[in-house]
């Protein structure tokens, strides 16, 4: 039994998923299904697309969902993986719902394509952004955002991704972020952190904050027209970092997720509390593995799906656990 974990934006790169397509028929079928759903050649986008093309949000989100779904289908069909829970980081939550049979893959592909377009168009280019804050805890980051709004006379700015202890991403207006970068002084923050750093991120929009409200309304319309079934295993959702199985709650939390922060640190804490420490990052990259390592490198055992060697490691680990 394993926890299936699905990455979000930032994990994409050219040739993503190509080795799955070349080696497993179920992966070929998945790419074909995704291409049919969107009337887009997903193999061309994922295997031949440039970094710039894959960085476009309307391309990133369906590409990630396609590769993540191909990964989990290979694990289940070819390696007999049994999932006991799943969680996805932001757009990765759609892949978790597909894996659990709550939402059909075709419906999810169409939804994330619209989600990407809606999030990109919600804020004119250059008027919003995101910034990584390193070395501060949750309360200190919340204080920093409130302090910035009060003193800069600009809004909004708020926590967007609680990625791991000491790594939180904030999101908001470009004016807020620019003012904060120019006026940041760690000594002013309660608790006087010894090490604190701000890193502007190269993103196209201010995701997971109130500037995404129009995109959230669009996704309410889209997701309300999609059937949600009871998942075959519980999903830990970004919105509340709790196990959810009720279809209506899954839908509502997925809608709210667009403008709400991603509670990934809290998700990892829940998995640790429940002793669910064997996980597989289904999809391209190993961003999530890195976050789990920062959370607790000794207790968590997170495997990735980047190559045939990675899949062999998972198989060997499962065989060892059985014996």
| Rounded mean pLDDT, 135-152 | 96
Mention every residue, 6+ apart, whose C-beta is less than 8 A from residue 73. 26, 27, 30
Catalytic residue, from 11, 89, 208, 284: name it: 208
- Identify the H or E element spanning 213: helix 213-224
What is the end-to-end Cα distance of the chain in Å, rounded? 14
Residue that the structure tokens 């993540």 belong to: 68
Ordered by where they begin, the domains of the chain are 2-122+211-322 (3.40.366.10), 128-203 (3.30.70.250)
pLDDT band of 203, cuts 50, 70, 90: confident
What is the chain's mean pLDDT, rounded? 95
Task: For helices 25-38 and 105-121, give the axis angle rounded to 10 degrees.
Answer: 50
Task: Look up residue 235 and give its two tokens.
Answer: 């999903």
CA 149, chain centre distance (Å): 27
Catalytic residue check, 13:
no
pLDDT value at position 323? 62
| Rounded mean pLDDT, 147-164 | 97
Q: Which of 283, 292, 302 has the alpha carbon at shortest distance from 94?
A: 283
pLDDT in tens, 249-264: 999 999 999 999 999 9
Rounded CA gap, 60 and 251, in Å? Answer: 22
pLDDT band of 69, cuts 50, 70, 90: very high
Q: Is the pLDDT of residue 208 over 90?
A: yes
Rounded CA gap, 18 and 46, in Å? Answer: 8
Catalytic residue, from 90, 102, 171, 173: name it: 90
- Integer CA distances (angstroms), 207 to 47, 59, 197, in order: 26, 16, 20
Catalytic residue check, 90:
yes
pLDDT value at position 28? 98
Higher per-residue pLDDT: 318 or 271: 271
CA 222, chain centre distance (Å): 19
């Amino acid at each position: 039994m394993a926890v299936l974990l699905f990455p979000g934006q930032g994990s994409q790169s050219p040739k993503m998923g190509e080795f799955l397509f070349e080696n497993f028929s179920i992966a070929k079928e998945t790419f074909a299904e995704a291409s049919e759903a969107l009337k887009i050649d997903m193999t061309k986008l994922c295997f031949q697309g440039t970094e710039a093309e894959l960085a476009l949000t309307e391309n990133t989100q369906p590409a990630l969902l396609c590769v993540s779904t191909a990964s989990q289908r290979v694990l289940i069909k070819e390696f007999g993986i049994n999932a006991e829970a799943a969680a996805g980081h932001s757009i990765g939550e759609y892949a978790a719902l597909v894996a659990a049979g709550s939402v059909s893959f075709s419906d999810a592909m169409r939804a994330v394509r619209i989600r990407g377009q809606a999030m990109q168009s919600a804020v004119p280019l250059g008027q919003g952004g995101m910034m990584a804050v390193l070395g501060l805890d949750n309360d200190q980051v919340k204080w920093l955002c409130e302090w910035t709004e009060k003193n800069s006379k600009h809004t909004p700015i708020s926590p967007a991704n609680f990625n791991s202890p000491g790594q939180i991403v904030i999101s908001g207006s470009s004016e807020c972020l620019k003012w904060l970068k120019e006026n940041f002084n760690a000594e002013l923050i309660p608790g006087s952190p010894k090490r604190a750093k701000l890193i502007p991120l190269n993103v196209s929009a201010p995701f997971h904050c109130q500037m995404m409200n129009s995109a959230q309304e669009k996704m309410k319309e889209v997701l309300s027209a999609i059937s949600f079934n009871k998942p075959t295993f519980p999903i830990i959702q970004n919105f509340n970092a709790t196990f959810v199985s009720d279809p209506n709650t899954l839908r509502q939390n997925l809608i709210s997720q667009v403008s709400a922060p991603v509670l990934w640190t809290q998700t990892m804490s829940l998995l640790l509390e429940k002793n669910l420490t064997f996980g597989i990052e289904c999809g391209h990259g190993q961003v999530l593995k890195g976050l789990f390592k920062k959370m607790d490198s000794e207790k968590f055992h997170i495997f990735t799906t980047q190559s045939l060697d990675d899949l062999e490691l998972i198989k060997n680990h499962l065989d060892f656990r059985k014996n």
